[in-house]
Amino acid sequence: MTAISLRRVVVTLMLSAAATAVACLAVATPSWAHAELVHASPGNGQTLQYPPERLRLQFTEPVSLAGDGVRLFTSTGSTVHIGAPVHPASDQTTVDVPLPEALAHGRYAVAWRVVSADGHPVSGALTFNIGVPGAAAPVTVPAPPPDSGATAYGITRWFGFAALALLVGTAFFLVYAWPGGARKPMARRLLWSGWAASVAAVVASGLMYGPYLTGTSLSRTLDGQLIAETANTRLGTALGVRLALLLMLGPVIWYGLRWLAQARALNPRTSVVLSVAVLVTGAVLAITWGAAGHSATGTLSGAALVSDVVHLTGMAVWLGGLVVLALALLPTRDVASMRAAVPRFSSAAAASVAALIATGVFQAWRQVRTMPALLTTPYGRLLLLKVAAVLVILALAAAARASVKKHYADRHSGPDPHQLYYFRRGITREVLLALAVLGISAALVNSEPAHSAYAAAQVGPPTPAAQTGTPVPPGLVAFDAGGPAGRGLLAFEVQPRRVGATGVHVSVLDRDSRPMAVPDVKVTLSLPAKDLGPIPVPVQAAGDGHFFGTATFPIAGKWEAAVTIRVSEVDQTTLRLPLEFS
């Protein structure tokens, strides 16, 4: 590889990794809408006469446990030592946590964090009381460690996608289009680089997954407990299977390269058999991706898994083949080899792109479903960005295919150096854009699907008074939920303002400060510094625009109330209001 080519590859990898990090930072929030808590015992806000023996959490789908996934706090903010969370026999949707026998009377808060079936962390909180809630002392809550695991994990996923493409794409290119390439040092290096990078990506993913699940910093990457817990997750199993397959492939690659290098030519039947073998191998590796991702959950999961496997395999054949073409075949200036290999690869690439489009449309429909979800969620916006990049790639691919038909199909002539230069430059651009698309894909896998994100409450800051066009009286907050009658004012009261049980009053007013009838109001409480919440607060309607309920603030600190106001079937907004208790 020349110095210029090496610099180009290094710059490409750095830019793609940076793009992946930015995309992952844009969506690096936990997924709240996959596995949902449907029952808790003790229930949220429940007062018990005697200490419970255990805490039970039941979810809508199977979950796995992430590190210290369940934490119990007293009213002073101190942590209570509890038993290890476990699943009851044959019930992966339920989590049981043994509690100490000597729990004193008072208020308690539970923060839980589990792993949904598609590999995303899901979090929440609840409170309960034992006997008469005791007095609470002020508490200084430590800030949580920075959550850098999601970004690092997203980058390792991009690295794994790129490695899979290099491994499978190079192998397919050699057996289907260019068997003589096995004698070229660059082609052999690309194949072995794909294999080694795939093994490294498995190890890196296994190390980064633990901090991602627990929401901790990368300082715990080598934490033995986190590594052991990762191995017990669905993703950990998939990574173990993938690593075993890759290690078994090592001797096969070594023998296959020697055999191809010694063979003068492959007859059509042998070429087809070897090509199918490579595709099957790539599909088996791709299954280890799909079985631990979005395809494993939701409706049509079987069809989604097949689509995911076809999508990944098609991507690998196309992108990996482009890399071999740009870095190994075209630099040889071997016109005879180009006349044979380039048209064959061009046909395979066209079939791969067709498979990518078909499966991509199906996956987009399954994860998005509606236009609002496409336009208003991080997943939807990333998907639109990916579609735009793919359209540019398709234009470059069409130009490349036209060049192949014009300059490589004739057996008696071939591309001159000028034509070869422009063809290689176009292929390089195609590879660069494809690597960027891989970064977006890694971020999409790491984010919550659009349809479930859209179904959850849409969170936004309070609308400033200047945007409402109406002066806001003191003590009120302006909001705009959209729609013809979506603007109004919110009054939120907590009386008495204290740690423990207290009353919550919500008044929704129109722009003239008159009571405004709305279909629904929801209230949740969170303590960000303690990673506690959201804790739902049931409220009841008491006339037009007025709602009341009872909330329990178990710990002093800087709380945040999220008030969701729904003004119609489709229009709603959420206001976040600070509440401090000392």
Per the prediction, the chain carries an average pLDDT of: 77
Please identify which residue in the block is written with the tokens 């199909």.
409
Q: What is the mean pLDDT of residues 458-485?
A: 52
pLDDT at 185: 93
Prediction pTM value:
0.61
Cis ω before 496 (30° cut-off from 0): yes
Q: Are 48 and 42 in contact (CB under 8 A)?
A: yes
CA distance 108 to 96: 17
For residue 103, the model assigns a pLDDT of 84
- What was the pLDDT predicted at 210? 79
Average pLDDT rounded to a whole number, residues 378-405: 80
Model pLDDT, residue 4? 41
Q: Amino acid identity, residue 22?
A: V
Structure confidence at residue 390 as a pLDDT band (50, 70, 90)? confident
Give per-residue pLDDT as tens, 106-143. 888 888 888 776 666 777 788 888 875 543 333 333 34
pLDDT tens, 241-277? 999 999 999 999 999 999 988 876 778 888 899 999 9
From residue 350, alpha-carbon distances to 96, 102, 186, 370 in Å are 52, 68, 25, 30
Which range, of 164-173, 239-248, 566-575, averages the lowest pLDDT? 566-575
* Mean pLDDT, residues 80-92: 82
Local confidence band at 381 (pLDDT 50, 70, 90 cut-offs): confident
Q: Express each pLDDT in 529-549 by its tens digit.
A: 887 878 888 888 877 788 888
Sheet of 500-509: strand order equals 477-480, 487-495, 500-509, 546-553, 539-541
Task: For residue 187, give both structure tokens.
Answer: 């082609």
Where on the phi/psi map is residue 533: left (φ > 0), alpha (ψ -120 to 50), or beta? left
pLDDT of residue 175: 92
Edge-first strand listing for the sheet containing 79-80: 46-48, 121-130, 106-115, 64-74, 79-80
Q: Cα–Cα distances in Å, from 55 out to 61, 71, 101, 112, 530?
A: 18, 11, 12, 11, 20
pLDDT band at 582 (very low <50, low <70, confident <90, very high): low
- Omega before 42 within 30 of 0, i.e. cis: yes
SS3 assignment, position 126? strand
Specify the pLDDT at position 281. Answer: 94
For residue 96, pLDDT beyond 80: yes
Contact 357, 363 (CB under 8 A): no
Identify the residue with better confidence: 553 or 5. Answer: 553
pLDDT value of residue 414: 58
What are the two backbone dihedrals, phi and then psi, of residue 150, each rounded to the nearest 5 degrees?
-65, -45
Q: Which residue matches tokens 């017990």?
A: 232
**Contacts (Cβ under 8 Å, ≥6 apart) of 105:** 130, 131, 132, 133, 134
User: What pLDDT was estimated at residue 461?
Assistant: 36
Highest mean pLDDT among 32-41, 467-476, 479-488: 479-488
Residue 110 CA to chain centroid, in angstroms? 26
pLDDT at 289: 84
Structure confidence at residue 577 as a pLDDT band (50, 70, 90): confident
For residue 410, the one-letter residue type is: D
pLDDT over threshold 60, residue 194: yes
Edge-first strand listing for the sheet containing 532-537: 532-537, 520-527, 557-566, 572-581
Q: Does residue 527 have a pLDDT over 80?
A: yes
Helix (H, G, I), strand (E, B) or coil at 423: helix
pLDDT digits (tens, 9 = 90+) for 422-454: 777 778 888 888 878 777 776 776 666 666 666
Model confidence band, residue 398 (pLDDT cutoffs 50, 70, 90) = confident
What's the confidence (pLDDT) of residue 578?
Answer: 82
